[in-house]
Amino acid sequence: MNLTRVRTRVAPSPTGDPHVGTAYVALVNYCFARQHGGEFVLRIEDTDAARSTAESERVILAALHWCGLTWDEGPDVGGPFGPYRQSERSSIYASYAAKLLASGDAFKCFCTPERLEEMRVAQRAAGKPPRYDGQCLTYSAQEIARREAAGEPYVVRLRVPDEGVCVVNDLRRGPIEFEYTSVDMQVLIKSDGMPTYHLANVVDDHLMEITHVFRGEEWVSSAPKHLLLYSYFGWQPPELLHLPLLRNPDKSKLSKRKNPTGILFFRAMGYLPEALVNFLALLADPARDGEDEMLDLPAIVRRFDPQHVPIGGPVFDLAKLDWLNGRYIRERLDPTSFVQRVQEWAVSPERLKRVAQLAAPRIERLSDLGPLLAFLFSGRLALTTQSFESTKLDALSIRQALSLSVAEFDKLAAWNAVEIERVIGRIAAALDKKARDVARPFYVAITGSPTSIPLYDSMQLLGRDLVRERLRNAIDLLGAPSKRELQEWEALLARHEVAV
Ligand code: GLU
């Protein structure tokens, strides 16, 4: 492995809230670059224009900063290889796609979505893996020119050999073989002219002179496509290491649906960033025999060894995070820093001002604040099924409203009181109930009481991740819906939306 020059990167797609997996991948790339005196780059992969938002980018960067990570180049700090946002680099990708077309390593594909769907159905029926069948490769130059002149939309696809094996050399797993017949002729440029992840990622890693790529295991199957692109362009590919996916103690995949996975959740719960980073570092590089597991960032950087990255999915064990966090609070925070942390966590002047405004109309003595606001300074709430009895809504409607809201809240581009209220209003309408009545169980789930300071503002203040967690707890308590029930309820909501 050439270590004379090391450049690594993390390349998040700004399509949602910052995921703890992004911090994990960023940390590993950060450590490797720092350890070798190299550079660590942050690149924003926002080629999916429909799902990418500036707000998500802002929150992801802030969350990584909160973790204590810094980067040498990125959209916020600039650098010699910019721009660092893929949406600002479209002309670059177009010129590289043109090169591939000219060399015959990519081709224009005019197949309609209907034809591709028919092809997939037939492949599925025949028990074959889904793969583009190469129809447009058979067209003559005249045929292609004719279709283009007629204004037929097309995508640009990667040419993949019909036979042979691609060997992906993973730094940790060693050689991994892929039959070319199992590699799809990937779309490189979409019909709107925008690149897909695969083309943009390879072009950027090359142009940004990235030497080592540490990324999630879910990208292993993309590696053959990427290696083909490197070879077509005549470029040296970076070293690759695929990090195992984080898992639950039962070995299932960590998923937002079932687990807290947002960095902001951990912040809202009052975990210290040092503890979270320490915890993530141990997942990528477990403690050696007899080593103290409490490690600060410089120590994490010093000791990181890619050969220690586990191959089996490391368990994201929240009990361990709790234990580490407790140790950080007890062993690393003197009274002054403790106060400072508490302030940062929950009582920043800005937040306190907002809370005070909301609480003032509802109290007679300042001492009323404690019980009224306790929910804002808590993690999970101790609720029982009786907690929901004071609400006017029947048990089924409560389960429906809470369950439907989880997915609807996740879809919101912006997390604020107005949007939150709109979601609850829509659900109430679909259930044919009064919005006020539907809001009650939300009060209970979120604040622990059927009345409190204004609900939607409280939800905004708590943040989407903690709200999701409290809703999920309430739903579990009241009886989580079966898959079928949830589908029915979602259909009910969708039908209602169409009708209005
Ligand atoms: N944009 C991809 C992601 O969101 C990056 C994958 C890679 O590192 O190649 O994970």
* 437-474 pLDDT per residue, tens: 999 999 999 999 888 899 999 999 999 999 999 999 99
Atom of ligand 1 nearest to the CA of 25: 8
Q: Among 41, 219, 227, 240, say which to mutate for ligand 1: greatest number of ligand atoms within 8 Å of CB.
A: 219
CA-CA distance, 87 to 95, in Å (whole number)? Answer: 15
Mean pLDDT of 111-123: 93
Domains assigned to the chain: 7-74+246-323 (3.40.50.620), 89-243 (3.40.50.620), 377-499 (1.10.10.350)
Q: Among 57, 89, 197, 230, say which to mutate for ligand 1: greatest number of ligand atoms within 8 Å of CB.
A: 197
CA-CA distance, 229 to 188, in Å (whole number)? Answer: 10
pLDDT of residue 230 exceeding 90: yes
pLDDT of residue 258 exceeding 80: no
Could you read off the pLDDT of 153-203 as tens digits, one per residue? 999 999 999 999 999 999 999 999 999 999 999 999 999 999 999 999 999
pLDDT for the residue 498: 75
pLDDT of residue 492 exceeding 70: yes
pLDDT for the residue 252: 85
pLDDT of residue 482 exceeding 80: yes
Residue with CA closest to ligand 1 atom 5: 11
Mean pLDDT of 288-309: 94
Q: Name the residue among 228, 188, 229, 230 with its Cα closest to residue 94.
A: 188
Residue with CA closest to ligand 1 atom 10: 12
Atom of ligand 1 nearest to the CA of 197: 1
pLDDT of residue 117 exceeding 90: yes
pLDDT of residue 391 exceeding 90: no
- Ligand 1: centre distance to CA 43 (Å): 9
Q: Name the residue among 158, 313, 303 with its Cα closest to residue 248.
A: 313
- Ligand 1: centre distance to CA 392 (Å): 47
Mean pLDDT of 226-248: 95
Atom of ligand 1 nearest to the CA of 22: 10
Mean pLDDT of 489-495: 92
- Ligand 1: centre distance to CA 9 (Å): 10
| 73 strand-pairing partners | 41
pLDDT for the residue 84: 98
- Ligand 1: centre distance to CA 199 (Å): 12
pLDDT for the residue 187: 97
Residue 9 phi, psi (nearest 5): -150, 160
pLDDT for the residue 409: 95
pLDDT for the residue 444: 95
CB-based pocket (< 6 A), ligand 1? 11-13, 45, 197, 201, 215, 219
Q: Which H helix or E strand runs over 167?
A: strand 165-170
| 241 strand-pairing partners | 214
Mean pLDDT of 283-309: 94
- Ligand 1: centre distance to CA 216 (Å): 8
Looking at per-residue pLDDT, the higher value among 430 and 499 belongs to 430
Mean pLDDT of 207-212: 98
Could you read off the pLDDT of 74-109 as tens digits, one per residue? 999 999 999 999 999 999 999 999 999 999 999 999
Model confidence at 3, in pLDDT bands (50, 70, 90)? confident
User: In sequence order, which residues have a C-beta less than 8 Å from that of residue 60 and are 6 or more positions away?
Assistant: 12, 14, 18, 22
| 187 strand-pairing partners | 157
- Ligand 1: centre distance to CA 247 (Å): 19
Model confidence at 2, in pLDDT bands (50, 70, 90)? confident
Q: Among 9, 201, 213, say which to mutate for ligand 1: greatest number of ligand atoms within 8 Å of CB.
A: 201
C-beta atoms surrounding 249 within 10 Å: 10
Atom of ligand 1 nearest to the CA of 215: 8
Residue 452 phi, psi (nearest 5): -170, -160
pLDDT for the residue 500: 63
Q: Catalytic residues, which ones?
A: 256
pLDDT of residue 1 exceeding 80: no
Please state, rounded to an integer, the average pLDDT across all residues of the chain. 93
pLDDT of residue 254 exceeding 90: no
Atom of ligand 1 nearest to the CA of 213: 8
